[in-house]
Amino acid sequence: GGRHTPFFPGYRPQFYVRTTDVTGTISQFTADDGSIAEMVMPGDRIKMTAELINPIAIEQGMRFAIREGGRTVGAGVVSQIIK
């Protein structure tokens, strides 16, 4: 599973939160050392900023999956909600 190629700002995967799925646009990645990353390689651990195209019920601490083409390519935890 997972991706075999990097992705860049503007990437638009599906975010699955509990029973809801919604497309989102990832606008920025931050590496573990706090630097802004220009791309994300498979296996990288990052913090990211994403904007969902539709509002959904979501809370800090919720887990989510990132899916593309019917397969899971990433997973994460909501650390902050920006309104």
Q: Is 78 exposed, middle or buried (0-12, 13-18, 19+ CB in 10 A)?
A: middle
Residue 2 domain-assigned? Answer: no
- Asked whether residue 1 carries a pLDDT value surpassing 80, the answer given is no
Structural domain span for residue 27: 14-77
* pLDDT, position 63: 98
| Confidence bin at 3 (pLDDT 50/70/90) | confident
Residue 4 domain-assigned? Answer: no
Residue 82 domain-assigned? Answer: no
| Confidence bin at 83 (pLDDT 50/70/90) | confident
* pLDDT, position 24: 97
Q: For the segment 5-52, what is each residue's pLDDT rounded down to a tens digit? A: 999 999 999 999 999 999 999 999 998 888 998 999 998 999 999 999
Residue 66 domain-assigned? Answer: yes
- Count of domains forming the chain: 1
Residue 67 domain-assigned? Answer: yes
Residue 25 domain-assigned? Answer: yes
Q: Could you tell me the CATH number of the domain that includes residue 54?
A: 2.40.30.10
- Torsion angle, alpha carbons of 65, 71, 74, 78, to 10: -10
